[in-house]
Structure 1
Amino acid sequence: MDLETIPGVGEKTAGALAELDDPERALRDGDVAALARAPGITHGRAARIARGAIRREHDDPGGFLATDRAREVYREVLSLLKDRTVTRYGAQRLETIYPSPCRSRIEEVQAFTREAIEHEPTEDVLAALEGVEPLDRPSDVRVRDRCLATQDAERYSEAREALPELSVEVVEDARGLAELARGYATVVALDESFAGVDVDGDVQVRPDALENPAEVVPERPLAFFARNRTSLRAAVAVHRAADLEAPCDLGSLEDGLERLADDGTVAGDEELDRLTVAVDDLDAAASTAESVANDHLREAIREQDVTIEGADLLSLVERGAGVDSLLSRELADEYAAAVEAAREELVDSLDLDTGEAEIARRAFGDEPTFPVEREEDVVSRLREELTAAKERRAARLKRELAADLADQREGARQLVRNALELDVELAIAQFARDFECTMPEFGTETAGFAIDGGRSPLLDEPLEAIDPVDYAVSEVALLSGVNSGGKTSTLDLVASVVVLAHMGLPVPAENVRLQRFDDLHYHAKTQGTLDAGAFESTVREFADLATGGDGSLVLVDELESITEPGASAKIIAGILEALDENGATAVFVSHLAGEIREMAVFDVTIDGIEAVGLVDGELQVNRSPVKEHLARSTPELIVEKLAGESGAVFYDRLLEKFE
């Protein structure tokens, strides 16, 4: 894949993406977390790159959201979806779902959505998802007790790239291998020519080492699984709670993770634990053994009556004999018992095996001395034996566990991806349930949109408190109605439904049929009259739309506020004429609907959100626009109410002015 062909990806960004393990897979799956691991790529940038890759795949020109208010609606409905995710990845992944005019893209997401809404967001699954995070690739693994050796410069470069965790050395002959063996615990020779060479130390001839990295550097897979153990365990729990088909053996994976310590070493092996404790406690155990022997001797001396005749004492002094000789002569049995106690203490406290115990017993000699002291050279030898045994066992266990886990690495990756994708699906499913959504129908013969039982998700009200709205427009229409009657909310509902439908997602309604629009132009209500420059800019924008908006949906909220009412009616009438000629679909909310209709050269449709009356000063409104109906204004309703209550001629005369 030529990464620079993705919209918004230049040479520098393409180079950063190329450093990922599998950038094509990440782009294909919209894996924002993986893309964000590329150097210098933020999560927001990663989402834009993923959208760019999707646009390229579907030949999507972009620009569906043509105005600020249209983009605001998209961000608001996207936020509602993201609020229902558990993982950060889920929220990032939803950023790659955007409104598109392309049938292939819409249908692709619709297929995903139809499967998603079948899921049940249970508490067990959501709780398990809290521990799932994208997998991290450890980059800090360094192994210093092993090295690779080769005679070939090309092989040297290949080895450095394939196994960066190890040092790679160039040697000329067997002498060079021998020198390396004196500095490293293990030397792995990559050249077949070294086969049969006899040198001191652990030198392994492995021409296939680069093809089997887990055998040479078991720390690599172990570090990966240790670093990601929490997420992997959570992903296992998600698969079990959601009854998902697993891409690997969950029991084997859990067993492998159980055998792995946080630092990437092997855990749970009793023999390795014994050797580790023995090495760590050797000095303290030897000191304790000394104390046992000396305490034994002191007690024996206190209880022993030693009588030395003068001739014997003189003989001892003349020979320069000291306490040792006296001990040998008078307390030989007690000394032997003290030394035996020290030996048993050392062997028992370190839980040494037979061979190790044989060395340990020599740490305390048979020659009497006081105080009793250990033989440091023997203790050092014991330490070397224990350390070597520990390292041999740890290395073997690492290789075995690495071999078990390395085979499950791709399955483990897919396991986590499945769990993270499930979070996205559950968010969509929860959104669909919370707003009682349905999948919209795009019809090739459908013009405009038809919404049955729609409830705007942008209203800050409980769903049950929102009156359902039925509304359909197939051409150009004016929407009239009383203040606070729900005109803007109706536009928001239409915009939300159209945006969600073109994202390929469910829409908040009982039933929706619509055409595939090329773009959405939603112009929010202007606050106050515009100055001359802003007015000119607004008119230019509508001029561009009027000349090329045949596949557009245009939603406009009270455009008359941009200038004086008389001029506004004329301008809106002209815009509607152009949009009608182009075959665009448009809804213009206006309090000047009657005046605009009179000025338009075609029979413009007027729909009305009808207030059915006043109850205790509160408007009672039919929220669904009535087709071909100019809604009465709030002042008319008030005058009508007063006329009915008082019967005064004044109110009747005022009421006649509204006819």
Structure 2
Amino acid sequence: MDFETIPGVGEKTAAALSELDDPARALEAGDVAELARAPGITEGRAAAIARAAIRRRHDDDGDFLATDRAREVYRDVLSLLRERTVTAYAGKRVETLFPTSSASRIDEVREFAREAVERTPESDVLAALEGVEPLEPASGLRVRERCLATLDAERYAAAKDAFPELSVEIVEDARDLAELARSYSTVVALDETFAGVDVEGDVRVRPDAAENPDEIVPERVLAFFAGNRGRVQAAADVHEAAGLDAPCDLDALRDALSRVDEDGTVVGDEELDRLAAAVDDLDTAVSAAESVANDRLRDAIRERDVTIEGTDFLSLVEQGARVDSLLSRELEDEYDAAVEAARDHLVETLNLEPEEADVAVRAFTDDAAFPVERDEEMVSRLRTELKAGRDRRAARLKRDLAADLATLRAPAEEMVDSALELDVELAVSRFARDFDCVVPEFDGEGFVVEGGRSPLLDVAFEAVEPVDYGVSGVTLLSGVNSGGKTSTLDLVALVVVLAHMGLPVPAERVELERVSELHYYAKTQGTLDAGAFESTLRDFRELADGEANRLVLVDELESITEPGASAKIIAGILEALDEQSATAVFVSHLAGEIREASSFEVAVDGIEAVGLRDGELQVNRSPVKDHLARSTPELIVEKLAGEDGSGFYDRLLEKF
């Protein structure tokens, strides 16, 4: 697959994508988590790549949202979805959902949404999702007690690339190999030539090392699971709470995870713990054993009367006052007992095995001396043997645990990805439930919205009054100020955007035409200057020459210039859109004037104010078809006329 054919993907990004196991599948599925595993690609960038790949696959030009206001509505939709995600990943993943005119893409997402709304967003599932994040590769790993060795320069270069965690050495013969074995706990020879060579130390001949990296560097697997343990465990919790089929035995997975510490160390093995503690405590234990021996010997000397004949005393002086012979002759039994106590203390304190104890007892000599002192050579030998035993045990445990975890890596990745995708599904489900959504029907022309309620209003959703409205063709929408004309346009735009994303919409029923573009023009603040006015007219000129199946929503275009001129300009625009058989809703306070200036019968709908109560408008939020709504001033004059019998207000009322 040529990744550079995807819009926005250059040579560097394409090279990064090619390092994935199956990038074509990830792009096909919009798998943001997998794409983000490519080197140097963040989740945000992965979402953009996935979105571009989806557009390319469905032949979508990305022009559906044709105006700034249309794009604002889409951003509002994304915000509502993101607010209902738990993970940062899902917040990025929802960005791969976008409005389009592509029937295949809409159907694809509608199928996803149908399954998503069946999900129940249980609180324990949402709580478990808080710990789920995309898995991270192990980084910065360095293993210093093991090295690779080879006779061949090319094999050396390949090993350097394949095993960055290890030192790789060039050797010329078995003598060099033996020298390495004295410096490293384990040497892995990559050449078949060394098979059968007798070298002291832990030397393994593995020509197949590159094909079995987890066996050569088990720390790689352990570091991966150590760094991602919390995420994997959280994903397992999500599967259990949501009743999802896990891709592996969760008990076995948790057991394996419990055996690796957060730094990648194998834990939970009593023998390894014993050896590690013995190495760490050796010097302290030896010092304590010396104290045991000397305290006993000192006490014995205090309690004994030792008689020294003159010739013996003279001999001791001549020998430099050594007491070895005196101890041997007078306190032999006490010395032996003191040394035996020291040995017992050392063996018991370090919990040594019999073969280790054989070395430990030689840390204190049988030759009488005071004070009793360790034999440093024997202590060093004991330390070496304990370390070797510890490292051998740790290496075997690492290999065994890494072998177990290696078989669980793919299932763990699948489980985490499933949990993250579940968060996306639950966000759609929560959106649909929170806003009483329904799956829209693509049928007929224009749009019909029944019981629509916009979640974009600055009131609690429960307090939003439902709106019924449908339009086919070109229509003017009239109504009083603050009657809900703009919010009705917002509702229509929201429904159209969601429907063309393939998602449920906040209404009791929606039927609409699949349109090619949404043009939504927001209300202009104040009269435009000549340049801005000209630019606006150019926009509408291009709109009038465009495709027939666009939806055009315009809010009070008359504010761009003087009312008289505005009515004529809007009438001309409506005529062009009518010739296209386009669907358009223009909100205007000049509906009557525009209708008079138009060369065709313009439909006029009205949001009717039913009266005033305590100074507040009482409004029927659903537009009335074929009805020019009364203005707020007319309602106020009508109210005053009913309260005053002078006839003044009646004459004013006749002017409307």
CA distance in 2, matches of 1:535, 1:4: 41
CA contact (8 A) 2:185 2:391 kept: no
CA distance in 2, matches of 1:144, 1:34: 32
SS at match of 1:631: coil
Corresponding residue to 2:605 among 603, 607, 610: 607
CA distance in 2, matches of 1:498, 1:156: 62
Q: What's the CA shift for 1:306?
A: 2.2
CA deviations over 1:80-114 (Å, ceiling 9, x no partner): 11011111001011111111110111111111111
CA distance in 2, matches of 1:321, 1:341: 27
Q: What's the CA shift for 1:307?
A: 2.8
User: Partner residue of 1:136?
Assistant: 136
Question: How large is the RMSD of aligned CA atoms in angstroms?
Answer: 1.7
Q: What's the CA shift for 1:206?
A: 1.9
Q: What are the residue-to-residue correspondences of 1:207-606 with 2, within 5 Å?
A: 207-443=207-443, 446-606=444-604
User: Partner residue of 1:69?
Assistant: 69
Q: Is residue 12 from structure 1 mapped to residue 12 from structure 2 by the alignment?
A: yes
CA contact (8 A) 1:77 1:457 kept: no
User: Partner residue of 2:83?
Assistant: 83
SS at match of 2:271: helix
CA distance in 2, matches of 1:203, 1:308: 60
User: Partner residue of 1:122?
Assistant: 122
CA distance in 2, matches of 1:298, 1:192: 62
CA contact (8 A) 1:614 1:637 kept: yes
CA distance in 2, matches of 1:363, 1:157: 46
CA distance in 1, matches of 2:377, 2:22: 55
CA deviations over 1:255-277 (Å, ceiling 9, x no partner): 11001111112110000000000
User: Partner residue of 1:55?
Assistant: 55
Q: What's the CA shift for 1:146?
A: 2.4
CA contact (8 A) 1:442 1:515 kept: yes
CA distance in 2, matches of 1:22, 1:298: 76
SS at match of 2:545: helix
SS at match of 1:131: coil
Unpaired runs of at least 5, structure 2: none
CA distance in 2, matches of 1:344, 1:203: 36
Q: Give the letter aligned to residue 267 of structure 1.
A: V
SS at match of 1:497: helix
SS at match of 2:161: helix
CA distance in 1, matches of 2:18, 2:218: 26
Q: Is residue 186 from structure 1 mapped to residue 186 from structure 2 by the alignment?
A: yes
SS at match of 1:95: helix
CA contact (8 A) 1:58 1:102 kept: yes
CA distance in 2, matches of 1:270, 1:182: 28
CA deviations over 1:449-490 (Å, ceiling 9, x no partner): 111101011112111210000111111111110000000000
Q: What's the CA shift for 1:176?
A: 4.3
User: Partner residue of 1:149?
Assistant: 149
Q: What's the CA shift for 1:153?
A: 4.4
Q: What's the CA shift for 1:181?
A: 3.1
Q: What's the CA shift for 1:505?
A: 1.1
Q: What's the CA shift for 1:28?
A: 3.1
CA deviations over 1:520-577 (Å, ceiling 9, x no partner): 1110000000001100110000110111131211110000000000110011111111
Moved more, 310-319 or 10-19: 310-319
User: Partner residue of 2:112?
Assistant: 112
SS at match of 1:362: helix
Q: Give the letter aligned to residue 71 of structure 1.
A: R
Q: What's the CA shift for 1:325?
A: 2.2
Unpaired runs of at least 5, structure 1: none
Q: What's the CA shift for 1:374?
A: 0.7
CA distance in 1, matches of 2:110, 2:128: 27
CA distance in 1, matches of 2:98, 2:496: 12
Q: What's the CA shift for 1:292?
A: 1.2
CA distance in 2, matches of 1:53, 1:333: 89
Q: Give the letter aligned to residue 381 of structure 2.
A: R
Q: Is residue 167 from structure 1 mapped to residue 167 from structure 2 by the alignment?
A: yes
* Shift in CA distance, 162/331, structure 1 to aligned 2, threshold 3 Å: same
Moved more, 172-181 or 60-69: 172-181
Q: What's the CA shift for 1:320?
A: 4.7
CA deviations over 1:118-139 (Å, ceiling 9, x no partner): 1111111111111111100012
SS at match of 1:522: strand
Moved more, 54-63 or 177-186: 177-186
Q: Give the letter aligned to residue 48 of structure 1.
A: A
User: Partner residue of 1:641?
Assistant: 639
* Shift in CA distance, 341/414, structure 1 to aligned 2, threshold 3 Å: same
Q: Give the letter aligned to residue 266 of structure 1.
A: V
Q: What's the CA shift for 1:39?
A: 4.9
CA distance in 1, matches of 2:611, 2:416: 58
Q: What's the CA shift for 1:321?
A: 5.0
CA distance in 1, matches of 2:345, 2:92: 61
Q: What's the CA shift for 1:166?
A: 2.5
CA contact (8 A) 1:33 1:92 kept: no
Moved more, 588-597 or 194-203: 194-203
SS at match of 2:363: coil
CA deviations over 1:258-314 (Å, ceiling 9, x no partner): 011111121100000000000011011111111111111222222222233434433
Alignment length, in residue pairs?
A: 656
User: What's the TM-score once normalised by structure 1's chain length?
Assistant: 0.96
CA contact (8 A) 2:110 2:503 kept: yes
Moved more, 367-376 or 15-24: 15-24
CA deviations over 1:171-217 (Å, ceiling 9, x no partner): 44444433443433322233333322333332222222221111111
CA distance in 1, matches of 2:641, 2:129: 64
CA distance in 2, matches of 1:461, 1:636: 28
CA contact (8 A) 1:457 1:496 kept: no
CA distance in 2, matches of 1:363, 1:182: 24
CA distance in 1, matches of 2:43, 2:112: 23
Moved more, 178-187 or 270-279: 178-187
Q: Percent identical across equivalent pairs?
A: 73
User: Partner residue of 1:24?
Assistant: 24
CA contact (8 A) 1:560 1:568 kept: yes
CA contact (8 A) 2:147 2:186 kept: yes
Corresponding residue to 1:620 among 600, 618, 621: 618
CA contact (8 A) 2:43 2:89 kept: no
Q: What's the CA shift for 1:19?
A: 4.2
Q: What's the CA shift for 1:239?
A: 0.5
SS at match of 1:372: coil
User: What's the TM-score once normalised by structure 2's chain length?
Assistant: 0.97
Q: What's the CA shift for 1:154?
A: 4.3
CA distance in 2, matches of 1:205, 1:18: 33
Moved more, 580-589 or 202-211: 202-211
SS at match of 1:204: strand
CA distance in 2, matches of 1:486, 1:242: 42
Q: Is residue 98 from structure 1 mapped to residue 98 from structure 2 by the alignment?
A: yes
CA contact (8 A) 1:455 1:509 kept: yes
Moved more, 536-545 or 643-652: 643-652
Q: Give the letter aligned to residue 212 of structure 2.
A: N
CA distance in 2, matches of 1:413, 1:299: 67
CA contact (8 A) 2:316 2:323 kept: no
SS at match of 1:408: helix
CA distance in 2, matches of 1:259, 1:650: 92
Moved more, 130-139 or 140-149: 140-149
Moved more, 72-81 or 147-156: 147-156
